[in-house]
């Protein structure tokens, strides 16, 4: 091996050390009988080689078969600088000691100084670790909450947007439930919601999972004190560490609040005329507003007062309940969403229950509460289910039409206004069975009274106020009636069949334009 030529004590000592080590290895081998050397195994030879070398810090290229030499050491470009070879560290230490003696200094003192520096660094690291250990530990929890979505751009946190999650996270930081170290990113606490609601949509109950500091007196009260009144936490449940509110939510309950005057018989429609099917909804209009034209009638205050006097009778209420019960079970809901066809497996959805309440008077208008419990929902599905029943009752169409909508023919079903829709609560049946007897079940039952009070004050009140001020449901009906030709409601007939003219062909576009206030059903 060619050794770099240098007059410095360090490198000279390194060369001597290498030579000494090589001599040791050679002597060890030469002391053995020739037949033993030639007959020993490759593994034993290797052990003999390593025994005579200091390889504790060696990271260079492979050694050659001749012990004590390194192939290409002078050309190797690694992290460690020359000189290369066995015993490098020992040689460097020896050279350092010689240099220290020549200068009249003590190498041990230098090492001591280095130890002090390392000690200071270690002390700082220890203090940092102690500080971390002193922090209050986080626990995986499920927050049970409700909110009125008015004025918010949805549930899910979104940069530069006012969202429910955004305000909740800020309140938790201010209350100390989320540490300052984690306050800059919601992902650091693994926050996840069980159902995402869109702009302006409400939730009487929703669940958010995250890692939270719980060792705070009245932590829920402290967080609520930092929240606006339209967002409330009812409580929290300690969960398993792997809990994810979205993944482990196995079903959801939605509610739709509907004024009964929508079931008034539809007035006679104008004769069908041929002409272009023009879009009548304005995508940039405010929530719920429509682009009116001369063919749409606007109800006068007197007409609205008369409509609000309507009271649903027992026969009509029975038909309404029978209609909604037709949705129960596993059905193909391709006609109750957008952008789907009959053959897509995702259109198969399982509805467990559909309840229709007794009529309830609120501020001079009679209302029904519709509650649907389903395993999962598609976009607009609930609003279209409500819309179809409303149109069937108004036109006295037989209920046998409903099973026809689950078949292959594609028809246009209008979606009811978003105003009446809210998330009632997510359900975690499978999770609760898994943790039964081990952990607290994740249910809203202990907070039913509190939830109802919140819903009455902040959700129902907002829905009713907007309906009384803007007549949203009447506006919806007037649009449907004024443009029945455009929407092609030929399937609303006395026979309860879907005629050829009502079937949407490939290339036809009958879907309403999008408006704000949708809920993204899961």
Q: The tokens of 208 are what? A: 């958010």
How many alpha carbons fall within 13 Å on the CB side of residue 171?
20
Lookup result for tokens 């026979």 = 495
Please, what is the Cα angle at 484 between 479 and 490, to 5 degrees? 150
Following DSSP, what letter does each residue of 446-488 receive, concatenated?
Answer: GGHHHHHHHIIIIIIHHHHHHHHHH-HHHHHHHHHHHTHHHHT
Please, what is the Cα angle at 228 between 224 and 234, to 5 degrees? 35
CA distance 484 to 51: 95
Question: Contact at 8 Å (CB) between 323 and 390?
Answer: no
Pairing of strands 365-374, 348-356: antiparallel
CA distance 342 to 411: 11
CA distance 369 to 355: 8
**Residue from 143, 220, 231, 128 nearest 176 by CA:** 220
Helix (H) or strand (E) holding 168: helix 164-175
Active-site residue, selected from the candidate residues 198, 313, 355, 485: 198
Crossing angle between the packed helical segments 9-30 and 42-51, to the nearest 10 degrees: 140
Q: CA of 287: how far to CAs of 19, 163, 299, 471, 516, in Å?
A: 88, 17, 19, 13, 5
CA distance 247 to 352: 19
Question: In sequence order, what are the residues at sequence separation of 6 or more whose Cβ sits closer than 8 angstroms to the Cβ of residue 22?
Answer: 67, 68
CA distance 401 to 391: 11
Question: Contact at 8 Å (CB) between 398 and 495?
Answer: yes
Separation of first and last alpha carbons in the chain? 72
Crossing angle between the packed helical segments 314-325 and 381-395, to the nearest 10 degrees: 140
| DSSP one-letter code for 11 | H
For residue 198, indicate whether it is catalytic: yes
CA distance 346 to 337: 11
CA 130 to chain centre: 34
CA 41 to chain centre: 61
| Beta-bridge partner residues of 232 | 146
| DSSP one-letter code for 52 | T
Q: CA of 169: how far to CAs of 192, 194, 208, 223, 412, in Å?
A: 12, 16, 11, 9, 41
Q: The tokens of 354 are what? A: 């559909």
Crossing angle between the packed helical segments 107-134 and 88-103, to the nearest 10 degrees: 120
- Residues involved in catalysis: 198
């Amino acid at each position: 091996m060619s050794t770099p030529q240098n007059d410095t004590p360090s490198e000279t000592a390194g060369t001597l050390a290498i030579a000494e080590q090589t001599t040791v290895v050679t002597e060890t081998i030469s002391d053995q009988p020739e037949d033993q050397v030639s007959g020993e195994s490759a593994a034993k030879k290797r052990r003999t080689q390593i025994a005579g070398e200091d390889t504790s810090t060696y990271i260079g290229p492979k050694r050659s078969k001749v012990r004590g030499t390194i192939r290409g050491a002078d050309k190797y470009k690694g992290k460690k600088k020359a000189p290369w070879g066995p015993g490098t560290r020992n040689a460097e230490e020896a050279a350092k000691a010689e240099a220290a003696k020549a200068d009249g200094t003590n190498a041990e003192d230098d090492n001591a100084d280095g130890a002090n520096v390392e000690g200071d660094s270690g002390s700082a690291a220890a203090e940092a670790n102690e500080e971390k250990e002193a922090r209050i530990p986080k626990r995986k929890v499920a927050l049970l909450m409700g909110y009125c979505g008015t004025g918010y751009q949805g549930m899910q946190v979104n940069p530069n947007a006012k969202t429910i999650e955004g305000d909740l996270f800020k309140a938790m930081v201010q209350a100390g439930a989320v540490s300052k170290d984690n306050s800059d990113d919601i992902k650091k606490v693994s926050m996840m919601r069980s159902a995402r609601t869109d702009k302006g949509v409400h939730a009487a109950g929703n669940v958010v999972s995250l890692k939270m500091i719980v060792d705070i007196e009245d932590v829920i009260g402290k967080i609520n004190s930092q929240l606006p009144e339209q967002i409330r936490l009812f409580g929290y449940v300690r969960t398993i560490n792997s809990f994810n509110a979205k993944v482990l939510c196995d079903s959801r309950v939605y509610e739709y609040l509907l004024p009964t005057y929508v079931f008034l018989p539809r007035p006679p429609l104008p004769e069908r005329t041929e002409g272009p099917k023009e879009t009548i909804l304005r995508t940039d209009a405010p929530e719920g507003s429509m682009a009116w034209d001369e063919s749409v009638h606007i109800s006068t205050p007197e007409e609205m007062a008369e409509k609000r006097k309507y009271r649903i009778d027992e026969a009509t209420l029975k038909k309404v309940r029978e209609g909604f019960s037709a949705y129960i079970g596993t059905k193909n809901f391709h006609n109750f969403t957008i952008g789907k066809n009959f053959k897509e497996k995702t259109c198969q959805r399982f509805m467990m229950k559909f309840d229709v309440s007794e009529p309830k008077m609120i501020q001079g208008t009679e209302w029904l509460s519709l509650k649907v419990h389903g395993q999962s929902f598609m976009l607009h599905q609930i609003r279209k289910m409500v819309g179809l029943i409303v149109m069937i009752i108004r036109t006295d169409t037989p209920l046998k039409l409903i099973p026809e909508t689950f078949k292959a023919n594609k028809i246009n079903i209008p979606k009811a206004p978003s105003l009446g829709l809210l998330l009632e609560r997510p359900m975690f049946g499978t999770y609760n069975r898994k943790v039964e007897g081990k952990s607290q079940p994740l249910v809203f039952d202990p907070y039913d009274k509190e939830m109802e009070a919140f819903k009455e004050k902040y959700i129902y009140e907002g829905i009713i106020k907007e309906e009384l001020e803007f007549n949203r449901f009447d506006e919806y009906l007037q649009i449907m009636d004024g443009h029945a030709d455009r929407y092609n409601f030929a399937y609303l007939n006395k026979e309860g069949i879907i005629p050829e003219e009502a079937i949407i062909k490939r290339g036809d576009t009958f879907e309403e334009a999008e408006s704000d206030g949708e809920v993204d059903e899961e």
